[in-house]
Chain A
Amino acid sequence: MGVIPKTTKEDKNSKITVKHPTLKQATHNDIKTTIYVKSSTPFVSGIKRINKFLNDLDKRKKDPKFQCVVLLGMGKATEKTMALGCYFAEEKGKRLEVRTKSVDVIDEVIAEGNNDDSIIDDRDRDTSLKKRSLSGIEIKIYP
């Protein structure tokens, strides 16, 4: 966590070829209780999915960790995640637990000194990794 470093001018100019997703190390039970909200997730689809997960919670381990549905959203999807959480808090009267988070992701940027003009395709250029921090939100919905 901590302070997110400001991007310098050079950082901005370096071209990103691949944006890697966040690091996930989920167990079977995690997978069945966690929903990653995308900015393109339709709102009603999100609700249906959360409902399905809530119904299946009693199939999970009795560990309190797995007795709630976890919504995760970052960047552009934060707002949608909160909207989904609010729906369950207000319409369905569920108990929520909201936490803000800072998530690190890796970008592949074209390595310096690799501006060989003979290479046509950016895929063929050597890359170096660069860390980028994003803010996100975690919402736990209890049945």
Chain B
Amino acid sequence: MAIQPPASKGGKKQYNKNQIQKRQRIYNARSIRAEAVIVSSSNKSIAAGDLSESGSMLNVDQFTNSRQFEIKELQLAMHRSKVSGSTRVFQDLPRRLRRRTASHNIKRIPKRMRNRALREMMKNVQEKTVSTSAKPRHGLTAKALYKAKMSIKLLRLASKSKSMKLAFPNNISAARSRVRQKIRTLKKLIKDGKENKKYIRKLNNAMGSYDNIGINKLAPIPKGRPKYVKRQLKFTWLPTHVWNAKRSHMIKRWGYQIPWSATQKCFKMVHRIGSNVATSDGTLCMDTSFMGTIIINADEDNCTFLKETISKLTNFRAVNSKYYTSKKLFQGLMYSPIDGNIIGPSEVIWVDEASVILRLHPTIFGIIFNYLLTLTKKLKVQDARFSISSITITGAESLASLTSILRSTSKSESFEQLKLVSKVTDYKALPQNLSFGFTTIDPRHFGSPKKIKMVKNALSIDKVMELQTNVPKTEIHNALSKLLSQSGRIESYKNQLTIKELNRRRRQMVNSNSNISDHGIIPFEKDTDPEIPIYIYKREESNDWVIMLPWFWHLPLWYQLNRIPRMYNVGLRQFQQLQYENNKLYFPDDYPFTEAGFVENTDYKKEASRRKWEGKPSGKRVNFSKLKNIHSTVIPSVKGEIGDFFSCDWRLLQILRNGISHLLSKGNTLTMINPNKTTRFDQGANRLIEVVNDLFELLKDLEVEKLNIPCSALPILLTTKLDTETKKTISTKEDVANVPLSVMSVRCRYVERGHMKDNARIYEIPKEQENYWKDKRNGIFRADGKLYHDDETPLPEVYNLIGFISSGAYDLSIGGSSGTGFVDQGTLVSSKDKFVLVRNVGSNQYRLAHLDMLII
């Protein structure tokens, strides 16, 4: 409670009794005692026991003792004033657990604090939220009342038919049909259900779970609850949508509503837990059901055809014996079967010779699925987007948290292995591409998550090594084939219990058995209880675990998962952050060499940041076109910043790099401008390319008349090999815009201070400035021994531009700034040492950065 000044004007503030007391309390709390030390007896003129005013010699022990006393007093005073300051008990809670409603509703406060909170609420005579039993009075007109009642009626009927295990007819979930029509249908359905009509389709559970697969066609959008049908017309909800909508910021993209970022600030927390650090002591989880799953089956004759197809899609990689025979997860690029271009990242899991799972990002799902649909004569292609869901978890406690909510239904070697390694906090120590597959009991059987107690030192390095040789292949295969077959999934929903029924069973268990053996876990009954097939695999590339399970088992697992202490939910933004910290690329933002990534960069992100910039008043934004001292030579066609200000301008890079090799190919030297003429045209009024300036003019032409000048669809192409052979020759001037530039993925890290940002420009070090930057690398120091930063750096030329940073930021895992980017492959081949200059957009400061090549 803040002290408020009284209403009267002037004079001293008048405090009431309470306020005076409080002031006194704070005053007392802040007072610090000091120890008076008796002066050493060496000074004979002062009698022993006297206190010195003027200062004199002290004994060492007296001196240290009194300093010790003062430090203790200071600490005590700090503690006292901290305690006296806080007034309400919920202010002691950590930020993460604070609730705004805690000041009204006692249930938001942890139980151990409730008594005190209640007393405080009474003292403050504060309004408490009390549920009223009186009927709410409405001010509805007859029409509105009828409408409201109808929608309630619809929901009642829907829940009734659900509890009667009746499958919804299609028009209930068809959002466009009318309410009264729906009610009529439901009434008829319930009536027919009661009479046990033959044609009524019944489900095998009261939760309304069903299997939603598209065999040789796209799967229909999941029916979901009738109440929320209209909200999913354009963007489908994930199973955890309602849960996540309360706790995360959501984005609508790629046909889904996806958690983007947790509502609470979590940048550092995500680094501490999810990144590759030894101090991680928690888990991050994310609903990744939006990743599209395709199951491809082949009969015996077509096994080789299936292998060929996958081989074609992954550029011959995913059929190597490591993946095909040893059944390990393949993570790599997916290539277009039509033109051989890279589409995006993918995951391939071979189940056996005749079946394979593809997991794809929703942007590229359509391309691959449409291609596979053309092969349906030989293969059975299933769209399992809405029948198999997945959760991605990362962090040191991932496996420990999984084992605390999963139990295998029968004795399982794979589950034993999972249990064995569950306490390993650094899962990089485990063999590559580990996976587990078994059938588990309903996680809701646990009252709360139960940690598995392990024998101490049960795990040795030899046992870890056995994980790779003793793979329970048949067990994993059985679980996987159950998960992948429609009948297996439907079987897993059999007798799926509602919360009500589960609670009834828990109550029975508690009543019947006073000493419960299994710590409050509802015992599993082999014949009636559902068995959930589950597949867990480790991903090397992104350092996390993926759990695949049937769609309608997702939510029960998710709820239990999030009851585990130190489990935090994250979104795509955090996944992007972790990829960045792991030196990995994030799709689609860091994949400009694919169509999806190019569109993301040049359309979405560019538009968004351009609008943001335009929204600012002109005095408060960077005026990019008036930037001075960027390059050592100013060319007339570019004023200020080069290229697009709001994105990585790959087209500029293509034309610049290709143009320079075109200009140099004739054996000429590079000239910036022709001082006599601005630009020259040939007979067909096409621009001649003779100097560097012409390249920028060509770029301007491209923007204006896109169709008249031939240019490649994608300005850049990824190469993974560093050799001169792949370099394409640019002979004619048409090739400049038409031949895509070969780029390599690199990681730049600042050698000294500075902060890299997205879309930063990468320059090579000009030959004549090498010595200066070499000195800079070793450090130029001031006389006081500190690094000297303020010297004027020599500027490179505009043609020294060799690439862009696609995502750059401060990297907590190295304690410095770094960024992922792409650099012209030709310059990497010729350069000796791996140092470059990086410059942020809208700045003329060049920073020295070290360059590492990334393997994708």
B629 within 8 A of A: no
Task: Determine the chain A residues whose CB is within 8 A of the CB of B278 once the complex forms.
Answer: 24, 26, 31, 34, 36
Cβ contact of B465, chosen from A26, A31, A114, A129, cutoff 8 A: A129
Q: Give per-residue flags for B806-841: 1 if the beta carbon is below 8 A from chain A beta carbons, else 0.
A: 000000000100000000000000000000000000
B147 → chain A closest CB, angstroms: 54
Closest to A25 in B: B423
A21 within 8 A of B: yes
B432 with A108: CB separation less than 8 A: yes
Chain A CB within 10 Å, residue with most, of B428, B429, B432, B461: B461
Task: Determine the chain A residues whose CB is within 8 A of the CB of B432 once the complex forms.
Answer: 18, 108, 127
Task: Determine the chain B residues whose CB is within 8 A of the CB of A121 once the complex forms.
Answer: 317
A132 to B423, CA, bound (A): 22
Closest to A121 in B: B317
Closest to B321 in A: A126
B383 → chain A closest CB, angstroms: 28
Q: How many A-B residue pairs have CB under 8 A?
A: 78
Task: Determine the chain A residues whose CB is within 8 A of the CB of B661 once the complex forms.
Answer: none
Closest to A125 in B: B322
A119 with B320: CB separation less than 8 A: yes
A100 within 8 A of B: no
Closest to A133 in B: B461
Tell me whether A131 and B461 are in contact in the complex, defined as CB-CB below 8 angstroms, given that A18-B432, A126-B326 are known contacts: yes
A106 with B426: CB separation less than 8 A: no
A29 to B320, CA, bound (A): 44
Closest to A104 in B: B461
CB contacts under 8 Å to B, within A9-65, are 18, 20-26, 28, 31-32, 34, 36, 45
Task: Determine the chain B residues whose CB is within 8 A of the CB of A36 once the complex forms.
Answer: 278
Closest to A128 in B: B468
CB contacts under 8 Å to A, within B270-327, are 278-281, 316-317, 320-323, 325-326
A23 with B459: CB separation less than 8 A: yes
B6 within 8 A of A: no
A40 → chain B closest CB, angstroms: 9
A45 to B455, CA, bound (A): 36
B464 within 8 A of A: yes
A112 within 8 A of B: no
Q: Give per-residue flags for B830-856: 1 if the beta carbon is below 8 A from chain A beta carbons, else 0.
A: 000000000000000000000000010
Tell me whether A24 and B461 are in contact in the complex, defined as CB-CB below 8 angstroms, given that A18-B432, A31-B279, A108-B431 are known contacts: no
A23 with B426: CB separation less than 8 A: yes
A124 within 8 A of B: yes
Q: Give per-residue flags for A112-141: 1 if the beta carbon is below 8 A from chain B beta carbons, else 0.
A: 001010110101111111010000000000
A26 → chain B closest CB, angstroms: 5
Task: Determine the chain B residues whose CB is within 8 A of the CB of A125 once the complex forms.
Answer: 320, 322
A18 to B625, CA, bound (A): 48
Known contacts A23-B424, A126-B325, A129-B431; 8 further A-B pairs (Cβ under 8 A)? A18-B432, A36-B278, A104-B461, A106-B429, A106-B464, A118-B316, A127-B322, A131-B461
A residues engaging B (CB < 8 A)? 18, 20-26, 28, 31-32, 34, 36, 45, 104-106, 108, 114, 116, 118-119, 121, 123-129, 131
14 contacts between A and B (CB under 8 A): A20-B431, A21-B429, A23-B459, A28-B566, A31-B279, A105-B429, A108-B431, A108-B432, A116-B321, A119-B320, A123-B855, A125-B322, A126-B322, A126-B326
